[in-house]
Structure 1
Amino acid sequence: MDEVSALFHGFAVILTPMNLLLMVVGIVLGVLIGVLPGLGGANGVAILLPLTFTMSPTSAIIMLTCIYWGALFGGAITSILFNIPGEPWSVATTFDGYPLAQKGEAGASLTSAFTSSFVGAFLAVIMITFMAPLVAKFALRFGPPEFFAVYLLTFCSFVGMGKGSPFKVLGSMALGFALASVGMDTVTGQLRLTFGFEEFMRGFDFLIAVIGLFGIGEILLSMEEGLAFKGKSAKIDPKVVLQTWKRLPAYWATSLRSAVVGMWMGVTPGGATPASFMAYGLAKKMSKSGKNFGKGEIEGIVAPETAAHAAGTAAMLPMLALGIPGSPTAAVLLGGLLIWGLQPGPLLFVEQKDFVWGLIASMYLGNLVGLAIVLTTVPVFASILRIPFSIIAPVIIVICAIGAYTVHNAMFDIWLMIVFGVIGYLFKKLDYPLAPMVLALVLGDKAEDSFRQAMLVSQGDVSIMFSNPLVGTITGLALLMLFWPLISKLIALVKPPKKDEFADERPVD
């Protein structure tokens, strides 16, 4: 049990007054970053990275990772209260978190999200502690075909397990792929679908689209409904937290399954955003109350939040062990390690034991501190619902505009945000799902790059997607998910109807 003794040594490293203070400051800053749409954990860490250059590497990484944990927690706040995802991975949380808050259970919704986030991170840190060598060897086997297979599985599972018409899901996803292809081709360097507009050269930023689709779109719908902000009289107290905790153990299977999905997507790396979507889809498919998902089910909050936090935490493992960032934030942290003179890789666990195990220990303690901070401030967040809509609507629009502007410091992004807001409004009116388009927009370019790299390696031979058991299994699962609606209908046609065993006992009219 060398890992346990090394972990206790890590706790001895971080349990100093300065490191604990930096941990609290990082969590608070991270929550604020997560609440503000458009800023994001990666941007927040990047902005504050220069502040850590005078610190020791251990203190610096503790503060920066705690900013990340805080952003993971904070992203659920605006998703649940305003239906505006503060972070990309919080999109799936809006599906049930917002409706539950509108029922007057904002406290239960927030408590479920925060607690699930903590559980996901805790399980992921345990995995990092005890499975680092095995996971490192596994991740080394991933090349372009394996990466594309993971993205394909994410897309196909959303088609197979999504609610509503599969054709509407495919149509929404196709539009997202089209938007993701705008800008510069990363393989050839040529411009695509820019139509002469210089602003389109950088493509459509995911955060701007999300702010418009969910934030402005929801405001337009609320205005149409008569400027009524539902759930504004919600009140909670500490009893709500305890009552919610009593309900959460019933969803232990969903939490465990979602944590496994999140850890898989964090290590491979797939990312917190697809992990949250995939976990939500699995929960909806396997839950007894799956038909009620989207109407305010706590299980629909538990699944995406657990998976997102597990993925965000697990992404640190390939970054430390292999130097492969599993998320945008991990990439920023990787740059910080290089600036501090630390070379990520297997030798880091040998040459910098204090740093590595201090960081792992800070993951345990940082998430615990984060949970305590956000839970004690739940009444503050829930009280926002009591603000009249006529006051809060302009504030939300201004926050969305600031968030959109800060992405590239360009006024054009604000106009894009408004356009996406109108698209979001129309999609909701026509009953087209927004999530598939958002998912395709954020992952479309990455999936395309992986596919084209795989085709270059195989000289155009698609059979490379079945060239080894690993990529073949993932691709096979993806195809199964894609055609699952058709397969389920065929099974229903072939399967004989159940005989009514009480038919003979009923009186004939």
Structure 2
Amino acid sequence: MDALLSLIHGFGILADPMNILYMFVGIFLGVLIGVLPGLGGANGVAILLPLTFSMSPVSGIIMLSSIYWGALFGGAITSILFNIPGEPWSVATTFDGYPMAQQGRAGEALATAFTGSFLGAFVATLLLTFLAPLIARFALQFGPAEFFAVYLLTFCSFVGMGKESPLKVIAAMMLGFALAAVGIDTVTGQLRMTFGSTELLRGFDFLVAVIGLFGVGEILLTMEEGLAFKGKTAKINSRVVLQVWKELPKYWATAIRSSIVGCWMGITPGGATPASFMSYGLAKRFSRTGSKFGTGEAEGVLAPETAAHAAGTSALLPMLTLGIPGSPTAAVLLGGLLIWGLQPGPLLFVEQKDFVWGLIASIYLSNVAGLIVVLTTVPFFAAILRVPFSIIAPIILVICAVGAYTVHNALLDIAVMLVFGVIGYLFKKLDYPLAPLVLALVLGDMAESAFRQAMLLSQGSVSIFWANPLVGSIVTLALTMLFWPLISAGLARLRPRAPAPLSP
């Protein structure tokens, strides 16, 4: 009941006409970012974050989160019409979406994708509304040791539960920790890795690094690949939408299953991309028409889009309640909150109730507004895709440079952005994951601070991390996840092997 009353209060905050305007502007920009390959939710939020510095935190986060929802919607447009995933999580959408477009069913595919996205996000928002206050209330019992244990759990889950090579994840994370340590030690006041440079006293700004890693890095990679847009045009009318909505109820089991998978992968550090592939695989396994997947099945579009939106929205749950981002975009949003002087975590629900519930209320309206925007603007965005990438790429690079410069009004930040762009490009070429680097860059300082405070309290004894059942269970789970690849390999060896068939 308290959650409902707080949500009603949040809608009251959202009633400000300027907040509504920011929401629609954010959705439109987000769809545009989702449509343009080389950008994405994390990139768009990072590049446009400086635009929100003059806004109130509530208005700023509404606009940034709306950009994120718009990007989630927009990624499906290029996947279906042009077989070019606008977002990593839209790759699975191409498997059936593009064949549907080739068969002249582009409108049906897009309407299915957008409706699935709306359903997934709505389920995740309900989860966020009713579960976030409970988690925040529970997390108020946390001290430095418990917070470090949660940070450790996040880092270890990326290593042990991710699809990438654990060694590559650790290498990327170590680089992120090293970059986060540059500057002044907040505990002792010592200079760390500044090499006599006064410019490095403030360290590497998170925002400049993210703009370079995601925005510039992706553009360099896309330019190398010589991207060209080729695809189908599409129009969506009310008849197509109503027909799709009439057919979708028969896929209710797929929608529910995909929403659950998406919410789980969003709360844990899985993210929208593995959620979309997992949901597509489950839908193909359990569907009556699973053998036809890949030839233009609407269910094959519904499953990944529903899961991706559920994961993208539910990633905000650990970010708001524990200060732990569940996705790269949530990590960028976390950086925005820190810039505004807000500390994500359980106290946020006590000290900044207007901010939290205004954000949650905006998610409900953003999804409705996003559905309306994408259903009415598909022809416009399809036309943009016919602009040569040689024209779009320089525009994106200029936007990145302006965004980096406005952080501190320093030309050095543009050079730092370009260096991080090259790092992002090399990471992509060498198949190293960027998400662990971003996570370590954002949480490195906070994890170090929590660890050192815990060590001061225990006079240097690591036994504080097993001092009570709560922190002990979290640390044990973290270590289990860290060594899970070795544990699973050992269990596989212990299993009895099936006897080889006898030769005739």
- TM-score, with structure 2 as normaliser: 0.71
1:228 and 2:227 matched:
yes
Q: In the aligned structure 2, how far is the partner of 1:423 from the partner of 1:359?
A: 33
Pick closer, same or farther for the CA change 1:479–1:43 going to 2, 3 Å: same
User: Residue 315 of structure 1: CA displacement?
Assistant: 5.9
Q: Is the 8 A contact 2:172 2:433 kept in 1?
A: yes
* Aligned match for 1:49, one of 44, 49, 56: 56
Give 1:481 deviation, angstroms. Answer: 1.2
AA in 1 matched with 2:129:
I
In structure 1, distance between residues paired with 2:427 and 2:205: 19
Q: Which amino acid aligns with 1:462?
A: V
Distance 2:462 2:153 in 1: 16
Query: What displacement does 1:97 show?
Result: 2.8
Q: Distance in 1 between matches of 2:196 and 2:76?
A: 39
Per-residue deviation, 1:139: 2.1
Q: Taking structure 1 as reference, are residues 316 and 169 closer, same or farther at Cα in structure 2, changes over 3 Å only?
A: closer
Distance 2:348 2:151 in 1: 26
Distance in 1 separating the partners of 2:132 and 2:218? 43
- Residue of structure 1 equivalent to 2:289: none
**Cα separation, partners in 2 of 1:365 and 1:392, compared to 1, 3 Å:** closer
Quote the offset at 1:125 in angstroms: 4.6
Separation (CA, whole Å) in 2 of partners of 1:110 and 1:474: 42
Alignment of 1:206 onto 2:210: no
Asked if structure 1 preserves the Cα contact closer than 8 Å seen for 2:74 and 2:374, the reply is no
Equivalent residues of 1:113, 1:305 under 8 A apart: no
1:467 equivalenced with 2:467 (yes/no): yes
How far has the Cα of 1:195 moved from its partner? 0.9
Q: What is residue 23 of structure 2 aligned with on the other side?
A: 27
Q: Is the 8 A contact 1:77 1:381 kept in 2?
A: no
Structure 2 vs 1, CA of residues 454 and 193 (structure 1 numbering), >3 Å: closer, same or farther? same
TM-score using structure 1 length: 0.70
Question: 1:87 — aligned with what?
Answer: none
Paired with 1:98 and 1:345, the residues of 2 have a C-alpha distance of 36
Once residues 487 and 307 of structure 1 are traced to their aligned partners in structure 2, the CA distance between those partners, rounded to angstroms, is 27
Deviation string 1:453-494 (CA, Å, 9 cap, x unpaired) is 221222212122222222222212211111111111111211
**How far is the alpha carbon of 1:370 from its aligned partner?**
3.9
Q: Does 1:153 align with 2:160?
A: no
Query: CA separation in 2, counterparts of 1:125 and 1:41?
Result: 28
CA–CA separation in structure 1 for the residues paired with 2:10 and 2:430: 54
CA distance in 2, matches of 1:104, 1:286: 15
Q: Relative to 1, partners in 2 of residues 1:22 and 1:194: Cα closer, same or farther, differing over 3 Å? A: same
Measure, in 2, the Cα distance between the counterparts of 1:334 and 1:121. Answer: 29
Counterpart CA distance in 1 for 2:123 and 2:340 is 20
Contact 2:176 2:439 in 1 (8 A): yes
Within 5 Å, which residues of 2 pair with 1:355-370?
364-370=364-370
CA contact (8 A) 2:162 2:270 kept: no
Structure-1 residue corresponding to 2:310: 306
Alpha-carbon deviations, 1:421-461, whole Å to 9, x = none?
Answer: 22222223323233322222222222212211221222212
1:128 counterpart = 2:129: yes
CA distance in 1 between counterparts of 2:405 and 2:115 reads 29
- The verdict on how the C-alpha distance between 1:356 and 1:446 changes in structure 2, with shifts beyond 3 A counting, is closer
Cα deviation 1:303-356 (Å, max 9, x = unaligned) = 56433423436766799xxxxxx9455568887xxxxxxx9876999xx9xx99
Q: Distance in 2 between matches of 1:111 and 1:400?
A: 33
Compute the displacement of 1:33 (Å): 6.5
Equivalent residues in 2 for 1:44-123, closer than 5 Å: 44-49=51-56, 63=59, 66-76=62-72, 94-97=87-90, 105=98, 112=113, 116=117, 119-120=120-121, 123=124
Aligned 8 A contact 1:124 1:313 in 2: no
Structure 1 window deviating more from structure 2 (356-365 vs 143-152): it is 356-365
1:253 aligns with one of 250, 257, 272: 257
Q: CA deviation at 1:25?
A: 0.3
Q: Which residue of 2 aligns with 1:184?
A: 184
Q: CA RMSD, aligned part only?
A: 4.7
Report if aligned partners of 1:207, 1:404 keep a CA contact under 8 Å in 2. yes
Quote how far apart the aligned CAs of 1:77 are.
7.0
- Residue 47 of structure 1 aligns to a residue whose secondary structure is coil
| Paired AA for residue 495 in structure 1 | R
Q: Deviations over 1:354-403 (max 9, x none)?
A: x9988865653454334433443344344433221221221222122222
Counterpart residue number, 1:478: 478
Tell me, yes or no, if the aligned pair for 1:153 and 1:474 is still in contact at 8 Å.
yes
What is the alpha-carbon distance in structure 1 between the residues aligned to residue 410 and residue 115 of structure 2? 34
Shifted more, 248-257 versus 355-364: the winner is 355-364
Unaligned runs of 5+ in 1: 51-60, 84-91, 265-274, 320-325, 336-342
Aligned counterparts of 1:457 and 1:113: Cα–Cα separation in 2: 51
Question: Cα gap change, 1:332/1:306 in structure 2, threshold over 3 Å: closer, same or farther?
Answer: farther
Between the aligned partners of 1:118 and 1:334, the Cα distance in structure 2 is 33
Aligned partner letter, 2:393: A
Q: Measure the CA separation in 2 of the matches of 1:454 and 1:283.
A: 39
1:474/1:175 CA distance change after superposition, 3 Å: same
Distance 1:332 1:212, change over 3 A: closer
Partner in structure 1 of residue 401 of structure 2: 401
The number of aligned residues is 447
The answer (yes or no) to whether the contact 1:161–1:285 under 8 Å persists in 2 is: no
Q: Equivalent pairs: percent with the same residue? A: 45
Q: What secondary structure sits across from 1:427 in the alignment? A: helix
How far apart are the structure 1 equivalents of 2:215 and 2:132? 40
